[in-house]
Every structure is written in structure tokens, then in C-alpha cells.
Chains A and B, each alone.
Chain A
């Protein structure tokens, strides 16, 4: 749900579209999405967890939490909770991702 629009059951986010209707494939894809997002979020001392297969819980190291519905909502929330710009072009982030 978009908290501001108050609209339940928003449209499927575009990032969810590739796996198709196969629910096992969608679950696997969700797990991989969470794992990859966590590699990036570690840069900002945050983590993401799947929440009942229907949303994600974003948490900071200091215990702040926010539920997000899709990847589209994740990054604005991550910037809000961390107070930092989450920039995928940031050389420091890229160096971290490339190092492993």
C-alpha cells in the first residue's frame, strides 16, 4: 500500500514482472533480491528482510524500521531512515561491491 495515496494492493511493481506466475520462482527471486539489496544496504548500515512474502522490512543498525512494499519504495525509505543519499554511482559503494 502506498501510505500517502491510501491505496491498497497497488499495481505490481515492474521489478516483480520477470519471474511470471510460478510461485516458487517468485519466492526464489525475492530471496535473491533481498540478498542483493543487503549487499548494497550494508554500505549504509541497514538491512532488508522479507516480510511474509508480501513486503519487506527495512532496518537500521540503531533499530529504526520501516515496511516497504516494493523496490520502488525501498530507496526513498532507505534514504529517509539513514539520512544519507543512497547513490549507486558513488565510487565508495562501487569499490565495496567490486571488492568481493
Chain B
């Protein structure tokens, strides 16, 4: 499976500059790049494809059919040409999406497209936010918020062009929307390209390392992040029935759900990881990341009350517990 990372961020955030910087790292020499603004950067020895914004959304509401046609076609062609030896071998793909794109359709395509899903695995979502304009973009553009919420890694750029107060306010806003993604400052520190483009969802690594258990500070708007913890092992069946039902009805407003769960009957913890309607296959971790053995679930939601979500999950778990006891 070839990991496919998604590089996103609002217009002018510095995605292309970051991509150039990453591709200069010898560790990423075997990287294919799909970029939607053809010719914007001379990536001469890299592979360049053009993707359009077209999204094919079939009428049914069947979410497995949310396929971005041209992205799928471009990726299939790339894989085919690699197989035929027409292009040099590559070990990973990075998609640079347009600044106005919601990351979800691209992720969904990787998971749902009948050919691609056997050949590629969704990698990290890397979201770039620039210090001078980032906070204003978050306030004005919902898609900017969705990009931040979906991130596995946040990269703040151009901190050398913003004053300290502006940068501090942006960092607070980012932490409020997405408290768990590691945050890197591109202008001030060397970037670990391998860490940025790793694959948290499929790698089974303990991405949950950042101990986030408190509610995030209030952020302007209706985005909220919160963590639920459970002292007793969770019933996997009840969790599955509940989360599928929740995502079917409220998926657009569940910007992110991820967690590390103690599952009843399983010794190792299970990591779950979802973006809107899309849930990655759960990963059995080899061990707990720390001494805490409680299940922890982090939600980033838009306009959904924490109390209702918690009550609902506990009600479903309660029914399952009764059935087990009976």
C-alpha cells in the first residue's frame, strides 16, 4: 500500500513553499506529487499531475460513492505508470490540494474508489496556516476551519512576518479547534519531513501521545473540541452501532473523531480515527502509549453539544452492558 499524504491549507498559506522544502529532503526523494496548480512550481524531476476540482457526488447519499473523479483518475494513472516502469518508482504520494478545498472528499476518494483502495492508504493530513492571515481566515472561512480540524499535523508558516501577539492568538485558535495535532513552526525550526508525512491512521503509532483530556478553550464560532474518557472497557459492538448512526446523521458536523480505546475482550488498545463520514479501519496497537489505561475519545465538532454526544454514547454502552449481563 502506498501512503498518500494530503497537504492542505488556505490560499496563500505557504503550501507550495513547504512542499518544495520537503521535497528537497533526500529522505523524500522517492515521492510522487499530485498538484492542482500546474506549473506553479518547477518540480522538474518530480512527477506532476493536474487535478481538477470536480467532485462526483452520486445521488443516493451513499457516502462510499463520494469520489473525486479526476483525483482518482490521476492516482490510478500514476500507479499504472509506476507498474509499467514508465515513471521512476516512488514510495509515497503527496497531494497538494487547492486552498479552497475541504479535505474530506479527497480522503474519501482514497478509501472508497474501487481500485485505489487496494493500492493506496490515506496518510497524514498536513495543514498549513500562515501567521499573518491565519486567524482572520479561520474567522471568515469555514473551509479553513475544516482544514485545521482535519489535520494530523499543523504547520504554522511566516511567523517571521507576524508580530508575537498575532502569532500567539493564532496558536490559541488552532489549539482550540484541533488540540491533538502536533504543531510545527516552519520559519523557526528544521522540519522533520518523515514525521510530517508519516501515516498516523494506518501506522498504528501512538499518535495520541499529546495528553488532551480537558475541553479546549472557547473559540469564536461554533467549533468545539472535547475529550470523553471511560473507566471500563468499551463494548465494540455498541461503539460501532453508535458511531455509524451518529456519522450518518451528523457526519458533516463531526470534523474529527479519534481515540484510543480499551475494548472489552481485547488485550491491546484499539485506535480509531475518522474525518467527517470517513472512519479509517481501526488499528490494534501493540501497547498503550502511557500508564493511563482508560479509553479516550476526542471529538472536534461543529454546532453539536458535548452533553448530547456523551449522553448518547453512554446510553448505547449501557444497553450493551445490560445485554451482556443478562
**Chain A residues packing against B (C-beta within 8 Å):** 2-5, 7, 10-12, 14-15, 17-19, 29, 32-33, 35-37, 39-40, 71-76, 79, 85-89, 94, 97-98, 100
Give me 16 A-to-B residue pairs in the complex whose CB atoms sit less than 8 angstroms apart, sorted by A's number: A2-B64, A3-B62, A4-B58, A11-B117, A14-B279, A15-B241, A17-B281, A19-B236, A29-B237, A36-B319, A72-B64, A75-B249, A79-B248, A89-B249, A89-B304, A97-B316
Selecting from B88-96, B221-229, B306-314, the interface stretch reads: B306-314
Q: Which residues of B contact A40 (CB under 8 A)?
A: 241, 245, 316
In this complex, the member of B61, B64, B112 whose beta carbon has the largest number of chain A beta carbons within 10 angstroms is B64
Q: Which residues of B contact A32 (CB under 8 A)?
A: 237, 320, 323
Known contacts being A5-B114, A7-B114, is A15 close to B249, with CB within 8 Å?
no
- A75 to B248: give the CA distance in the assembly, Å: 6
Select from chain B the residue with minimum beta-carbon distance to A74. B244
Q: A40 CB to closest chain B CB, in angstroms? A: 7
A100 touches B241 (CB 8 A): no
Select from chain B the residue with minimum beta-carbon distance to A73. B62
Known contacts being A5-B65, A14-B280, A97-B316, is A86 close to B240, with CB within 8 Å?
no
Q: Which residues of B contact A19 (CB under 8 A)?
A: 236
A89 touches B250 (CB 8 A): yes
Select from chain A the residue with minimum beta-carbon distance to B323. A35
- A15 to B27: give the CA distance in the assembly, Å: 36
Select from chain A the residue with minimum beta-carbon distance to B242. A88
Q: Which residues of A contact B272 (CB under 8 A)?
A: 14
Listed from nearest, the 6 A-B pairs whose CB atoms lie closest are: A15-B240, A75-B248, A71-B244, A18-B236, A97-B315, A88-B245
Residue B246 is within 8 A (CB to CB) of chain A in the complex? yes
Q: A24 CB to closest chain B CB, in angstroms? A: 13
A36 touches B241 (CB 8 A): yes
Known contacts being A5-B65, A36-B323, A94-B315, is A15 close to B114, with CB within 8 Å?
no
A33 touches B240 (CB 8 A): yes
Residue B203 is within 8 A (CB to CB) of chain A in the complex? no
Known contacts being A33-B240, A36-B323, A71-B241, is A88 close to B316, with CB within 8 Å?
yes
Residue B282 is within 8 A (CB to CB) of chain A in the complex? yes
Q: Which B157-171 residues have a C-beta within 8 angstroms of A?
A: none
Given A5-B62, A18-B270, A94-B315, 11 more A-B residue pairs with CB atoms under 8 Å apart are A2-B65, A4-B60, A5-B114, A14-B272, A14-B281, A18-B236, A19-B236, A32-B323, A35-B323, A36-B238, A86-B249
- A29 to B320: give the CA distance in the assembly, Å: 12
Q: A28 CB to closest chain B CB, in angstroms? A: 10
Q: Which residues of B contact A11 (CB under 8 A)?
A: 111, 117
Q: A29 CB to closest chain B CB, in angstroms? A: 6
Residue B318 is within 8 A (CB to CB) of chain A in the complex? yes
B281 touches A36 (CB 8 A): no
Q: Which residues of B contact A14 (CB under 8 A)?
A: 240, 272, 279-282
A88 touches B312 (CB 8 A): yes
